[in-house]
Amino acid sequence: MPPTDPAVSIRSLGPADLPAALAIQAASYPAFLCEDEAAFLSRLKIAASCCLAAVRGETLIAYLLAHGWPGEAPPPVGTVLPRRAASEVLFIHDLAVASVGRGTGIGSRLVREAFALASDLNLSRAELIAVEGAADYWRMLGFAEAPCTPALAAKVASYGPAARWMTRAIG
């Protein structure tokens, strides 16, 4: 793992970060996986938010959208989420790193910070859909593919042909 960059700080991701976050998202994902402003913002406003920003100076270099959510119930891409939802698991919706932050370990640092926040919310398990071939990355962070019901498999498939349902314990 690369050494931690002392010039990078982690803080809550907020509405003021939206333009930079949307630009990172657009550079990181194909259009069908990109959220519009309303959907993106709704993830920041969830009561059990663990959404984080990695900044170098004033520049956003990575973000993590993660929040409490019902287990095995990933929301469709582009859905505006309600402010309150059952918080059974930490759902990691999106991790994106700008080109200037790649290879620095900032993604795993954001996930560790989100796990600490999730533990404070009494969430003991994390779930995600690995997209665009990212399953190997998530395996390095301790996630494993998990079996899916037919309904869950259909939701996962809507995230693209390479999408994989993955889970891990927090802690």
pLDDT string in tens for the chain (171-residue length): 565 677 899 999 999 999 999 999 999 999 999 999 999 999 999 989 999 999 999 999 999 999 999 999 999 999 999 999 889 999 999 999 999 999 899 999 999 999 999 999 999 999 999 999 999 999 999 999 999 999 999 999 999 999 999 999 998
In a domain? residue 2: no
Note the pLDDT of residue 33.
95
Note the pLDDT of residue 1.
56
Note the pLDDT of residue 6.
72
In a domain? residue 107: yes
The CATH number of the domain holding residue 16 is 3.40.630.30
Tell me the C-alpha distance between 147 and 126, whole Å: 15
Helix axes 37-44, 18-28, angle to 10 degrees: 120
In sequence order, the 6+-apart residues with CB closer than 8 A to the CB of 123 are 48, 68, 87, 88, 89, 90, 170
Note the pLDDT of residue 3.
57
Note the pLDDT of residue 36.
96
Tell me the C-alpha distance between 83 and 98, whole Å: 28
In a domain? residue 3: no
Residue 112's domain comprises 8-169
At 64, is the secondary structure helix, strand, or coil? strand
- pTM for the structure as a whole: 0.94
* H-state helical runs in 10-160: 18-28, 37-44, 106-120, 135-140, 150-157
Count how many domains the chain has. 1
Burial group, residue 86, by CB count within 10 angstroms (0-12, 13-18, 19+): exposed
